[in-house]
Amino acid sequence: MTPEDPEEIPLLLRPGGSAPRGRHLFLAAFAASLGSLSFGFALGYSSPAIPSLRRSAAPAPRLDDSTASWFGAVLTLGAAAGGVLGGWLVDRAGRKLSLMLCTAPFVAGFSLITAAKDVWMLLGGRLLTGLACGVSSLVAPVYISEIAYPAIRGLLGAFVQLMVVTGILFAYLAGWVLEWHWLAVLGCGPPTLMLLLMWCMPETPRFLLSQHKLLEARSAMCFLWGSEADWEEPPIGAEYQGFQLTLLRHPGIYKPFIIGISLMAFQQLSGINAIMFYTETIFEEAKFKNSNLASVIVGAIQVLFTGIAALIMDRAGRRLLLILSGFALGWGPIPWLLMSEIFPLHIKGMATGVCVLTNWLMAFLVTKEFSTLMEALRPCGTFWLASGFCICSVLFTWFCVPETKGKTLEQITAHFEGR
């Protein structure tokens, strides 16, 4: 598989010479996506942990209905803060270092949960893991989109969501045999592995070029693509120095802003996180004989169809999957992929931070109020409400979301600018 013709690739990257071998590229994408695996494990953790905590005897903390809802939802508040922090970090510390730094709150959060003697320690641990989730959910898609060439960017972008749902399934499977504290110990594994692997991976060439580090960018591209390259450094003028409110007057800025924020809001208004957080509890209330098994089946279905999405993303395109599919094929992976594709380099950190903040604030609202809606509207009304939002999301995609498959990141920016 080769990148596009050099004449069609703008100033940032002009790969030449031999075709990309891709081995190191996929290794780097895997290393970055371990942050998404950790993110998924943290999301799925509450489903088996809540019943386990309710069964636990003193001196272990126990959860009632109110604290259980906060145990699920407080992660999203931490993740909202992590989105803001990640948006700041990704432009200052870089993509690689930001991913490495988010391992600290992952490990600290799960360690605090493991040692918890009361509910406040549990909530504090969830808040820390949520902070890490917010950073990794922003940085991993950005890192992967910037190291991938257009022909496989959809595949690698969908791989991020595949690792998220794999992490959720991993938590469900492990929760079948482990109690809440050992499950938290297990949660320290993926972020630790990510730290070790990312240590050996390069920074993205686009970020290095934006810092005028031409030699480091050449070295990174040769490592990732396995080919020599001819370079032209992009013009870093006033327009590349960061975000200013006056930029919102330009269609190349406000159009992707509207699309990114709307996609993140619609993703959460589908109600998916409420289902993922409380899968086991939902099946227990539905009188399933084995709620653990039912949760694992749900997780396995998510992994299967997200894997299919990864394989067909670069053929079917983003818009078609958003319009036709269900969650794992479209609305799970594609909003995160589009978020990493549609923003210009000079505002990417701030813009993706706003999108992630929107996603997690909506996730908190949906997750925290899910039980209230179930009581007020009954299950039937609650899920009909989610269905209504899904219909609105399809209409928005039809009229507002452009196709990005096969385009370089610079070509996508040019589309929004009308060039």
Q: Mind giving me the DSSP string for 29-78?
A: HHHHHHHHHHHHHHHHHHHHHHHHHHHPPTTS----HHHHHHHHHHHHHH
Q: What is the CA radius of gyration of the chain?
A: 21
Is the model's pLDDT at 36 over the cut of 90?
yes
Does residue 343 form part of some domain?
yes
Among the residue ranges 227-231, 266-270, 354-358, the one predicted with the least confidence is 227-231
- Mean pLDDT, range 135-150, rounded to an integer: 90
Q: How do residues 323-379 score in pLDDT, each as one tens digit?
A: 988 888 888 889 988 988 898 877 888 888 899 899 888 988 887 777 788 788 887
Domain with 130 in it: 8-416
pLDDT, position 393: 94
Does residue 277 form part of some domain?
yes
Q: Cα separations (Å) of 245 from 254, 264, 343, 346, 350?
A: 10, 21, 15, 13, 12
- Looking from the CA of 35 toward its CB, the CA atoms found within 13 Å total 34
Is the model's pLDDT at 244 over the cut of 70?
no
* Average pLDDT of the chain, as a whole number: 83
Question: What is the number of structural domains in the chain?
Answer: 1
Both structure tokens of 233: 């450094």
Does residue 361 form part of some domain?
yes
What share of the chain has pLDDT > 70, as a percent? 88
Is the model's pLDDT at 150 over the cut of 50?
yes
- Mean pLDDT, range 262-284, rounded to an integer: 81
Does residue 1 form part of some domain?
no
Helix (H, G, I), strand (E, B) or coil at 139: helix
Any idea what the CATH number is for the domain that residue 39 is in? 1.20.1250.20
Identity of residue 287: K
List b or e across 183-218, with b for residues whose CB sees 16 or more CB atoms inside 10 angstroms. Answer: bbebbbbbbeebbebbeebbbbbbbbbbeebeebbb
Instruction: For residues 83 and 397, give the distance between their C-alpha atoms in angstroms, rounded to a whole number.
Output: 24
Residue 4: band (very low, low, confident or very high) from pLDDT cuts 50, 70, 90: very low
Is the model's pLDDT at 238 over the cut of 50?
no
- DSSP for 14-34, written as a single string: EE-SSPP--HHHHHHHHHHHH
Tell me whether the omega of the peptide bond preceding residue 20 falls within 30 degrees of 0, making it cis.
Answer: no
- Mean pLDDT, range 304-315, rounded to an integer: 88
- Mean pLDDT, range 40-51, rounded to an integer: 88
Does residue 107 form part of some domain?
yes
- Mean pLDDT, range 149-168, rounded to an integer: 87
100 and 195 Cβ atoms separated by less than 8 Å: yes
Helix (H, G, I), strand (E, B) or coil at 382: helix
Instruction: For residues 45 and 51, give the distance between their C-alpha atoms in angstroms, rounded to a whole number.
Output: 11
DSSP H or E run through 230: strand 229-230
Chain centroid to CA 104: how far? 18
pLDDT, position 261: 94
CB atoms under 10 Å from CB of 91, counted, come to 23
Does residue 407 form part of some domain?
yes
Residue 22: band (very low, low, confident or very high) from pLDDT cuts 50, 70, 90: low
Q: How do residues 378-405 score in pLDDT, each as one tens digit?
A: 878 888 998 999 999 999 999 999 998 8
Is the model's pLDDT at 2 over the cut of 70?
no
pLDDT, position 186: 95
Nearest partner of 19 among 38, 2, 33, judged by Cα: 2
Among the residue ranges 95-109, 161-175, 264-278, the one predicted with the least confidence is 264-278
- Mean pLDDT, range 231-237, rounded to an integer: 45
**Which carries the bigger pLDDT value, residue 2 or residue 212?**
212
Does residue 2 form part of some domain?
no
Instruction: For residues 153 and 20, give the distance between their C-alpha atoms in angstroms, rounded to a whole number.
Output: 14
Does residue 94 form part of some domain?
yes
Q: Cα separations (Å) of 322 from 155, 169, 274, 401?
A: 15, 23, 20, 10
What share of the chain has pLDDT > 90, as a percent? 35
CB atoms under 10 Å from CB of 376, counted, come to 10
pLDDT, position 56: 76
pLDDT, position 230: 43
